[in-house]
Amino acid sequence: MSAVQTTSPTPDDTRKRGPLAEVLLSLLRSGTFLTGFAIVMFWVACALFGEHFAPYDPLADDIINALAPPSAEHWFGTDQIGRDVFSRVIVGSRDILTVAPLATLLATVAGTALGLLTGYFRGLVDDVVSRILEAFMAIPVVIVALLAIVALGTSKTTVIVVIGLSFAPIIARTVRSAVLAERELDYVAAAQLRHESAAHTMFVEILPNVIPPILVETTVRLGYAIFAVATLSFMGFGIQPPSPDWGLSISNNYGMIGGGFWWTVLFDALAIASLVIGVNLAADGVHGALND
Amino acid sequence: MTKSAKAENALELRDLSVAYRVAGRNRAVLRNLSLNIGQGEAYGLVGESGCGKSTVALTVVRYLPRNGSITGGAISLDGQDVMKLDAEALRRARAESVSMVYQDPGKALNPSIRVGRQLTEIFELGGITGKAVEDRAVAMLNRVRISDPTSVMQRYPHQLSGGMQQRVAIAMALANDPSMLILDEPTTGLDATVEAEVLDLIAQLRQELSASILFISHNLAVVSNMCDRVGVLYAGMLVEEGPTEVVFNDPRHPYTVALLRCLPRGGQRKDQGRLDTIPGFLPGIGVDIKGCAFADRCALADDRCRSELPPLYDLGGRLSRCFYHEKAQALPRATPSDVAPAPKAAAVPVLRVAGLNKTYSSHGHALRAVKDVSLDLRPGETLGLVGESGSGKTTFARLLLGLVPPDDGGTIVLEGKALAPRLENRSDDQIKAMQIVFQNPDSALNRSHSIRHLIGRALKRLAGLSGKALEARLNDLVRSVRLTDRHLAVKPRQLSGGLKQRVAIARAFAGDPRIVVCDEPTSALDVSVQAAILNLLADLQSKEDVSYIFISHDLAVVRYLSDKIAVLYLGRIMELGPSEDVFSGPHHPYTEALLSAVPKLDQTETARIRLDGEIPSATNPPSGCVFHTRCPRKIGAICEQQEPPLSEAQPGHSIRCHIPYEELARLQKEVVTEPA
């Protein structure tokens, strides 16, 4: 009698998998996510092990071979002091892939806390905090960075703090709107009817249910953070020489384009573009998987 | 529409099979379904959720979701083979000959387009132009009894009440004079009074139109009032079919028999016997069914039922898919009917509410959601709160619980101690003494937590238990709501609606409450599950001596569980008294109208009282008696000028009406209202 088992309280066997397993499964089925993930993983591998398979030392100059065009020896050519561009592009992912994720993490933690606070308490707390966050969002990142450098000096930490704090209000806004919707659900009233503390209600009851939008926002912000790190480095406020960082390289070499030495800039620019596209594709995939 | 010769049947389904593709596998939803709907006939399709009712509606016009496919059989609409239609012919068929009306009119209408435009669009598609379009739209709205069509056409859907929206949706469905009208739960989201209005309208339109109707509903009473013939669907198969009256009065399939027994009928009360239930669950979508689909839940089933699919026996104008159709009504009860005698309610009230008010401010206007409500509740007693939506039932419950603070002045006294207006200021003992079972368990149970965590946390906070003691109490509690250990590890979404509601009940009972507010706890559930939950609530009450405040729009359900009834209208108590007195009357004209609006299975044709219009806005309530604008028994100027007091007509039975009690008794004797 096969039908007896089917009359269990979980009649539909697709429901037996946990929500996490379902999300992972749908990520693995998403071409968008897999493409993006592959690109990002490529650069992560370069950051971790680049030194070992880069053909040259990215910092070693070779002034005789300066500004050599791409060739079998130097696939991407050499820069103005003869450093191998290919090796520099590969190892150049290291700093940006440390700074951007850490900045995003800081933004996510701070933004989630602020979003929970404003969305849960509403009223005066929300009004005051939200106005401050809005004012903060109105200041361009570059100006914040300038001020921070004056105050803190240039370092990776400064970049992380600047980008992290600039992105936190944006994440806070997303979390707040998700929390506002959750707060209307009866399980929050049920928690109040147990005299739960505000902290318990926020972090144990509500937070697990707003993880999906936070995850999506984080991956999207990571793309922007990479872009912002590259921009700050290009402007000289970010990662400092002698790092082979992409933004920094472009900044050092863009004057050469006029002389026809395009390879000193193009490959770094493509690297930045591919990483941002990779992160955005992965973010799209995550968004799709969580909103099915 | 000029069709050469009408086919004999408006709709014919022949051996129709439909499957949904889920996780790479085709799962059967409809299995060899055959049915005919004659020209001008109204055919009702009933069954519990998940049995494939709505799929039938979608399949008729091949409107299945992307993962759905017709795996076999034929559909013939007015003699036309729907399966053979090309895209253009199918579009024409959907536009011209079949119309659908869905459950939620708010979703069927475009919120950003005026009602008039949405209507005229249909006529323009039909090739009508200019002034004629406008006229046709007005005529259509007149047809669905909308009194001022021109002003309604200027409005947006959200500016109309639910009943009005559904009328507009029906007007749109009728615009092209369809030959087939499919109504999929058209009144399910509506108040009883509005439901009655819409059903009356559909019944009247049937006289005027030639359209055949496929009426899909889970509500047996509604189908019994509206349809000529009825088909009972179970696991995608037709298990019984026949003339409505015959099927409901003399069912020949155990499933139909059991379904009818789940309903509290004829004024049944909790102390008179438990409701019957249907054990087990509907087979999952797409499982292989060897024998009779209902065999696992049927006490009459034997080996033959489990191994061999019964044919549809023709019993002379009716069909039954049961080997033992002649003894179907001998189906043994799944739940014994005997009840433990209820403890006599003690004289000292556990809860006293006096002069409770709640005023919201809405765009600068005062909105009096609850006005001057006073009542007592004794231990072990159930107070039923009834009234249309917007009458203040839920607000009143939230005031009691402290989720919303009341206006200054009123008092809530629990076991002799006054309760603070706000939840934060109440003691732990006070909060655990009053808990709630919410309407929608999906909202009430945190979807991130396991059942063990949900109930365990309540035990920890409300009963102050931990460790071994908590574990022991958890097991007791889980068993007392008839859940088992294997339910504990899962998350709410892995449970069915009825099981989720049991978890919510367990949580409410964690701290040995004195009072549990039940806010429409069964309205999202199927009747068989509803019966089990009502039995559970009644059992827990007689065991724990707990009091209930029971809110429901289903008067039969309220009557089954309640000892005392409060009828609310615009936040005021219009009638308060023992359940039997309120239901059997004489009662307030509003109560009378509410009772008369409920569709009944055991229909004896009675003159019905209809309420016109909508419940007035609480920001601007009518002068005098707030009910005078809709009251069928209004006596004159006094009703418009003076608000009648809530006066005690009989000991314990109060009515807020200018008409004296004896006069009400005389008036209401003329129209014998059949109780719910």
* A17 contact residues in B (CB cutoff 8 A): none
Nearest CA in chain B to A25: B23
Give the strand pairing for B646-650 and B653-656: antiparallel
> Which chain A positions have a beta carbon within 8 Å of B490's beta carbon?
10
B566 membership: H or E segment, kind and range: strand B564-569
Q: How many CB atoms lie within 10 A of CB B652?
A: 11
Interface test with A, best of B401, B446, B501 (most A CBs within 10 A): B446
* Beta strands B68-77 and B80-81, pairing class: antiparallel
Tell me the chain A residues in contact with residue B493 when contact means C-beta distances shorter than 8 Å: 15, 19
A186 closest CB neighbour out of B281, B440, B457 = B440
- Are B296 and A3 within 8 A, CB to CB? yes
Flag if B491 and A186 touch (Cβ within 8 Å): no
pLDDT tier at A24, thresholds 50, 70, 90: confident
In whole numbers, what is the pLDDT of chain B averaged over residues?
88
Flag whether residue A181 sits within 8 Å of chain B, measured between CB atoms: no
CA distance A79 to B204: 87
pLDDT digits 0-9 by tens, B356-393: 999 988 788 888 899 999 999 999 999 999 998 888 89
Q: What is the DSSP letter of B284?
A: P
Residue B150: count other Cβ atoms within 10 Å of its Cβ: 12
Instruction: Report how far residue B42's alpha carbon sits from residue B51's, in angstroms, rounded to the nearest whole number.
Output: 20
Q: Residue B124 has what pLDDT?
A: 86
- Between CA A287 and CA A220 the distance in angstroms is 9
At residue B319, φ and ψ (nearest 5 deg) are -125, 150
Are B350 and B419 contacting, i.e. CB atoms less than 8 angstroms apart? no
Nearest neighbour of B499 by CB, restricted to A2, A9, A13: A9
User: In the prediction, which pLDDT does B430 show?
Assistant: 94
* Cα–Cα separations (whole angstroms), residue B19 to A103, B28, B56, B490: 49, 4, 11, 28
Mean pLDDT check: name the lowest of A240-254, B414-428, B538-552, B599-613.
B599-613
Residue of B nearest to A182 (CA): B443
Instruction: Give contacts of B447 with chain A, Cβ < 8 Å.
Output: 209
Q: Domain B1-97+178-339 in CATH: superfamily?
A: P-loop containing nucleotide triphosphate hydrolases (3.40.50.300)
Query: Is residue A83 situated within a structural domain?
Result: no
- Asked if B502 and B481 count as a contact pair (C-beta separation under 8 A), the reply is yes
Nearest to B443 among A14, A19, A187 (CB): A187
Q: Which residues have a Cβ under 8 Å from the Cβ of B103 and sit 6 or more positions away?
A: B184, B185, B186, B188, B189
User: Most A CBs within 10 Å: which of B22, B237, B287, as the mutation test of the A interface?
Assistant: B287
Distance (Å) from the alpha carbon of B657 to chain A's nearest alpha carbon: 37
The C-alpha torsion from B137 through B143 and B147 to B153, rounded to 10°, is: -20
* Amino acid, res. B146: I
Residue B537, burial from CB neighbour count under 10 angstroms (0-12, 13-18, 19+): buried
Determine the residue of chain B that is closest to A13 in CA distance: B284
| B contacts of A19 (beta carbons < 8 Å) | 491, 493
What is the count of residue pairs from A and B with beta carbons less than 8 Å apart? Answer: 96
Phi, psi of B15 (to 5 degrees): 50, 40
C-alpha triplet A139, A140, A145: angle, nearest 5°: 105
- With respect to residue A237, please indicate whether it lies within any of the assigned structural domains: yes
CA distance B498 to B185: 21
The alpha carbon of residue B181 is apart from the nearest alpha carbon of chain A, in Å, by: 32
- What does the alpha-carbon distance between residue B334 and residue B274 come to, in Å, rounded to a whole number? 11
Which of A194, A196, A197 should we substitute to test contact with B (largest number of B Cβ atoms within 10 Å)?
A194
Q: State how far the Cα of A56 lies from the Cα of B593, in Å rounded to an integer.
A: 91
The shortest C-alpha distance from B401 to chain A (Å) reads 8
Whether residues A13 and B284 touch (CB distance < 8 A) is answered with yes
State residue B167's pLDDT score: 87
Q: Residue A13: its pLDDT value, please?
A: 38
B-chain residue closest to A193, CA distance: B431
Interval B392-410 mean pLDDT: 92
State the amino acid at position B579 in one-letter form: S
Question: Are domains B1-97+178-339 and B351-562 of this chain identical in fold?
Answer: yes
Alpha-carbon span B357 to A56, nearest angstrom: 82
For chain B, give every domain's residue range.
1-97+178-339, 351-562, 572-670
Choose from B140-154, B222-236, B656-670 the range with maximum mean pLDDT: B222-236
Strands B382-386, B564-569: pairing is parallel
Q: Nearest to residue A276, comparing CAs of A212, A228, A214, A215?
A: A228
- State residue B17 phi and psi, 5-degree precision: -125, 135
The confidence score (pLDDT) of residue B672 equals 53
- Asked whether residue A261 is assigned to any structural domain, the reply reads no
**Interface membership of A9 toward B (CB under 8 Å):** yes
In chain A, which residues have their Cβ closer than 8 Å to the Cβ of B494?
Answer: 9-10, 15-16
- The confidence score (pLDDT) of residue A10 equals 39
pLDDT in tens, B534-563: 999 999 998 888 999 999 888 889 999 999
Query: Taking the domain B351-562, which CATH number applies?
Result: 3.40.50.300
- Comparing C-alpha atoms, which of A212, A242, A246 is closest to residue A100? A246
Domain presence at residue A115 = yes
Domain CATH number, residue A105: 1.10.3720.10
Cross-chain Cβ contact B436/A193 below 8 Å = yes
Give a yes or no: residue A43 inside a domain. Answer: no
Residue A166 lies in a domain: yes
Closest partner residue to A14 among B23, B289, B448, by Cβ? B23
Residue B341: what pLDDT? 66
- Tell me the mean pLDDT in the region B425-434: 94
User: Which chain A residue's Cα is nearest to B424?
Assistant: A195
Minimum distance, in Å, between the CA of residue A173 and any CA atom of chain B? 22
Domain count, chain A: 1
d(CA B48, CA B231): 12
For residue A292, is pLDDT > 70?
no
The model's pLDDT over A240-282, given as tens digits with 9 standing for 90+, comes to 888 889 999 998 888 888 888 899 899 999 999 999 999 999 9
Rounded-to-10 torsion of CA A270, A273, A276, A282? -80
Q: What is the mean pLDDT of chain A?
A: 88
- Check CB contact of A14 with chain B, cutoff 8 Å: yes
Rounded to whole angstroms, how far apart are CA atoms B375 and B373?
A: 7
Q: Which domain holds residue A208?
A: 98-241
Q: Which pLDDT does position A7 carry in this prediction? A: 33
Neighbouring C-beta atoms of residue A2, cutoff 10 Å: 10
Residue type for position B447: R
